[in-house]
A and B are shown apart, each in its own frame.
Chain A
Amino acid sequence: MRSLATQPGPLQHWKKASVLVPSLLIFGVASASAGDRITQHFRVDPHPVVAIHNPGGTVTVRAWTKSEVMVIAQRATTEVAFDATQTGNRVDILTHALSDNAAPGELRTDLEISVPQDTELQIHDDAGGVNVSNVLGDMNVETITAGVDLEDAAGYLAVKTVDGSFQCVRCTGRIEVSSISGNFRFIDIHSPYVRAQTSTGNILFNGEFLPNATYRLKNYSGVIEVRFSPGDSFALDAHSLKGQVHNEARLDPPSHHHFLPRLGNALFGSMNAGRASVELSSFDGTINILKRD
């Protein structure tokens, strides 16, 4: 079986995009009206809120040590308006089309935003991509096709996409993510609560199982893959209504059973002390519980 761990994630797609986009820009620059680059700075207090609404383009947010928010907007053309305002300890960043007739490429704005580590982020980005690194505040991200790539996030993360992918690397906060056809990848996470639901997307979980933590991964079709190490401690409830469950973990039966229950495409049992709760469910997809490489 092909492991989800070997499939390209958002990061790989971005690498490809980094090669393709400059090429496209070279060809596109002749036809579009000139864009521009705008930079703005906002002084903020601890725990600021930054709300970003950018229908098309990439949103890149990085944490820094300054008590200020810096926004760099790169507009493809002047057909799109950029507006950044501060109200108290909140900064609103908004882009919107000025013309109904502009092509989508002409409405693109790429945002690079630097924020204090404890910033709360609210991001709406329909198409493009969202990249956030080292921000420790809560985060709410909604996209349509844009992929969401988070690194070293620590707050409560709520992410919703339609078919954008989601990747979380070294995240430690509570994570709730939902999508219809987006793929999810949880890599090296140390989270006490993960709830992930996608319809046709695949889900890869390759992280630490914390004591008393809950991990609920659910899809309709596609593959759910969970990686474990021999020392991990979790209680597993895995069932696929119409699909298959493949398991490499040595599970002990639940306390009230003398054998490992395997009812149809369902599997229940504990590994080691069963301290974390792992619930995997699929309608007609495949569930793989595999040893970590």
Chain B
Amino acid sequence: MNTIGCNEFLNQLGDWMENNRSADARAHVIRCGDCRSLVADLTAIQESAPSLALDDPEPSPRVWLAVRAQLEQEGLIHDGRRAPAPASTGWFDAIFAMIPRPALAAAYLAALIAVGAALVAPGSGYFQRTSSGSARWLSRTENATGPLSAQLNSAEQDTFSSFKTADPTVAASLQKNLAIVDNYIALCEKSVREDPQDEDARDYLYDAYQQKADLLAQMSDRGDIGQ
């Protein structure tokens, strides 16, 4: 018998990933395919992270603060501590501490996007247990995508502050294409608002978020090179 639900399990996800697993959480994972799948995905990321390791593992403190705040806000981790992010050694930090800096922004944004997509996907048990119609669906989608969008905008500001390239045509191209992606994000968000149950529109929206994260990572990479 399932003793806890998905929400409670998600609150314990941080502990789970650090191998502090309660009997209730174990029972839930055995029973719940969605949470089992989420755990499997996060474990795969955790296990593959070391292979990405290079010799520049130190991310910006702002990144960790943003990741932690984001995950807490979405209920994916439950931790009363507001520890200084760079010193933190939680499971999520541990994963991303091993990823090289240029790949970091894209990697962690991609993880956020994947988790967000999993939470609002129509087949998601989380969704099915917490909403019953389009309005709720739209609400859930907006709750998941709103912070992602804000996170990307914040990353964009950071990226522009450090972005440096000697070639103005390259800089112009990156900015032009960022505008293209932003435009598609706006179009996709509009489509999702108009038809919240349209899986294709939501897929395109998450693709567009992913593209923006990739593009910002490329720009960030060039910023690092320029410094």
Q: How many A-B residue pairs have CB under 8 A?
A: 70
Partner of A102, one of B166, B169, B170, B200: B166
B168 at the interface (CB under 8 A from A): yes
Range of interface residues on chain B?
A: 20 to 34
* Contact (Cβ within 8 A) A56 B167: yes
Partner of A181, one of B167, B180, B218: B180
Q: Closest residue to A281 on the B side, CB-wise?
A: B200
A200 to B169, alpha carbons, bound, how many Å? 19
B187 at the interface (CB under 8 A from A): yes
* Contact (Cβ within 8 A) B200 A145: no
> Given that A144-B173, A199-B211, A283-B204 are contacting pairs, would A126 and B165 also be in contact in the complex, using a CB cutoff of 8 Å?
yes
Partner of A180, one of B166, B168, B169, B177: B177
Q: Closest residue to A107 on the B side, CB-wise?
A: B166
* Contact (Cβ within 8 A) A241 B201: yes
Tell me the smallest distance from the CB of A195 to a CB of chain B, in Å: 13
B191 at the interface (CB under 8 A from A): yes
Tell me the smallest distance from the CB of B168 to a CB of chain A, in Å: 7
Main secondary structure of the interface of B (DSSP, over half): helix
B144 at the interface (CB under 8 A from A): no
Partner of B188, one of A56, A100, A181, A283: A283
* Contact (Cβ within 8 A) A163 B204: no
A281 to B199, alpha carbons, bound, how many Å? 13
> Given that A144-B218, A163-B173, A241-B191 are contacting pairs, would A283 and B167 also be in contact in the complex, using a CB cutoff of 8 Å?
no
A274 at the interface (CB under 8 A from B): no
8 Å CB interface, B164-188 against A: 165-170, 173-174, 176-177, 180-181, 184, 187-188
Q: Which residues of B contact A209 (CB under 8 A)?
A: none
8 Å CB interface, A110-158 against B: 126-127, 144-145
Total chain A interface residues with beta-carbon distance under 8 A: 25
Q: Which residues of A contact B155 (CB under 8 A)?
A: none
> Given that A241-B204, A283-B184, A283-B204 are contacting pairs, would A181 and B169 also be in contact in the complex, using a CB cutoff of 8 Å?
no
Partner of B167, one of A100, A127, A163, A284: A127
Tell me the smallest distance from the CB of B62 to a CB of chain A, in Å: 25
Tell me the smallest distance from the CB of B95 to a CB of chain A, in Å: 23
Partner of B174, one of A102, A144, A200, A283: A144
A233 to B119, alpha carbons, bound, how many Å? 38
Q: Which residues of B contact A56 (CB under 8 A)?
A: 166-167
8 Å CB interface, B95-109 against A: none
A261 at the interface (CB under 8 A from B): no
8 Å CB interface, A151-209 against B: 162-163, 180-181, 197, 199-200
> Given that A163-B176, A241-B200, A283-B188 are contacting pairs, would A180 and B211 also be in contact in the complex, using a CB cutoff of 8 Å?
yes
Most-contacted residue by chain A among B173, B184, B198 (CB, 10 A): B173
> Given that A104-B169, A181-B180 are contacting pairs, would A220 and B204 also be in contact in the complex, using a CB cutoff of 8 Å?
yes
Q: Closest residue to B172 on the A side, CB-wise?
A: A145
* Contact (Cβ within 8 A) B166 A199: no
B215 at the interface (CB under 8 A from A): yes
A162 to B176, alpha carbons, bound, how many Å? 10
A55 at the interface (CB under 8 A from B): yes
* Contact (Cβ within 8 A) A199 B180: yes
* Contact (Cβ within 8 A) A55 B177: no
* Contact (Cβ within 8 A) A104 B184: no
Q: Which residues of B contact A220 (CB under 8 A)?
A: 184, 187, 204, 208
Q: Which residues of A contact B166 (CB under 8 A)?
A: 55-56, 97, 100, 102, 104, 107
A75 at the interface (CB under 8 A from B): no
Q: Which residues of A contact B167 (CB under 8 A)?
A: 55-56, 104, 107, 126-127
A239 to B181, alpha carbons, bound, how many Å? 21
* Contact (Cβ within 8 A) B215 A145: no
* Contact (Cβ within 8 A) B169 A162: no
* Contact (Cβ within 8 A) A180 B180: yes
Tell me the smallest distance from the CB of A85 to a CB of chain B, in Å: 18
A35 to B20, alpha carbons, bound, how many Å? 63
> Given that A56-B167, A100-B166, A144-B170 are contacting pairs, would A180 and B191 also be in contact in the complex, using a CB cutoff of 8 Å?
no
Q: Which 9 A-B pairs have the closest CB atoms?
A: A180-B177, A104-B167, A145-B173, A126-B170, A144-B170, A162-B177, A283-B204, A220-B184, A163-B173
* Supplied contacts A104-B169, A199-B184, A220-B204, 20 more A-B pairs, CB within 8 Å: A55-B165, A55-B170, A56-B166, A102-B166, A107-B167, A126-B167, A126-B170, A162-B173, A162-B177, A162-B215, A180-B181, A181-B176, A181-B177, A199-B180, A199-B208, A220-B184, A241-B200, A241-B204, A283-B187, A284-B187
A: residues with CB less than 8 A from B are 55-56, 97, 100, 102, 104, 107, 126-127, 144-145, 162-163, 180-181, 197, 199-200, 220, 239, 241-242, 281, 283-284
